[in-house]
């Protein structure tokens, strides 16, 4: 049930600009986050290149968002239209931006460890049979993707955590999920250092999963599921 206070807040928000966007003109403006990739499993050249790729996606996403403000919506059609091109590439670049941010943040802990009483551990054990089963399935997803991503996410339909393998940035993507663990398996992530040995790269990255960062995401899902249960 929404309360009177909720209604007041909502009305206020619908009149005033949202607090975290006060200085912006367009609907969304992505801002680059600074990442310091500490891992020794990737070369400095690879890490520098990867951050620059991410910056490129930010730039494109902002340009697309800006163009979408004024593109002709009446002329939209599925065969060829400016609107369609922008929307398709908006999703492509937006996924690229956020999946990279989630990835950079979760592969960066030289002293990585997970404890059995963590939410991450217990949730993965619950939904995959055991933590080890999750690991095997996640690695299988990493190996199955054709230049893309493996992702563990909370699925709002099945009401459980699932793994998925995405091609490129926006193909074969579940349409209703909250990501908690993300692995970049585009060839750009590992070819400099591992050539086609994607499995060695993936296992190396998993050894440096930042389970503190991941735990916070699992905690958020826990809060979400409680809120949905109402």
Residues 105-134 that bind its own copies (CB under 8 A): 117, 119, 122-123, 125-128
Name the residue nearer to its own copies (CB basis): 99 or 205: 99
CA nearest neighbour of 180 among 143, 146, 223: 223
Name the residue nearer to its own copies (CB basis): 43 or 110: 43
Name the residue nearer to its own copies (CB basis): 110 or 187: 187
- The interface with its own copies within residues 8-47 (CB under 8 A) comprises 10-11, 13-14, 18, 20, 27-28, 45-46
- State in angstroms the smallest separation of the CB of 39 from its own copies: 17
- State in angstroms the smallest separation of the CB of 146 from its own copies: 5
| Whole-Å CA distances, 79 to 75, 76, 92 | 11, 9, 18
Among 32, 39, 83, 212, binds its own copies (CB under 8 A): 83
- With CB under 8 A as the contact rule, which of the stretches 31-39, 104-112, 202-210, 215-223 interacts with its own copies? 215-223
- State in angstroms the smallest separation of the CB of 212 from its own copies: 14
């Amino acid at each position: 049930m929404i309360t009177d206070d909720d209604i007041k807040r909502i009305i206020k928000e619908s009149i005033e600009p949202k607090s975290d966007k006060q200085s912006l003109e367009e609907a969304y403006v992505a801002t680059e986050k600074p990442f310091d990739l500490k891992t020794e499993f990737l070369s400095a050249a690879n890490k520098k290149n990867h951050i620059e790729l991410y910056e490129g996606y930010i730039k494109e996403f902002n340009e697309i968002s800006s163009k979408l403000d004024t593109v002709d919506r009446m002329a939209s059609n599925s065969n060829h239209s400016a609107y369609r091109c922008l929307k398709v590439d908006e999703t492509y670049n937006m996924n690229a931006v956020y999946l990279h941010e989630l990835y950079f943040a979760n592969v960066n802990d030289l002293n990585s460890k997970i404890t059995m009483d963590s939410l991450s551990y217990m949730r993965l054990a619950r939904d995959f049979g055991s933590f080890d089963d999750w690991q095997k399935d996640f690695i299988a997803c990493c190996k199955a993707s054709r230049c893309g991503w493996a992702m563990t996410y909370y699925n709002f339909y099945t009401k459980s955590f699932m793994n998925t393998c995405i091609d490129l940035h926006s193909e074969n993507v579940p349409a209703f999920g909250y990501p908690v663990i993300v692995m970049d398996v585009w060839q750009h992530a590992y070819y400099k250092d591992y050539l086609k040995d994607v499995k060695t790269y993936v296992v190396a990255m998993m050894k440096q999963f930042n389970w503190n960062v991941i735990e916070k995401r699992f905690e958020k899902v826990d809060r979400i599921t409680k809120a949905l249960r109402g």
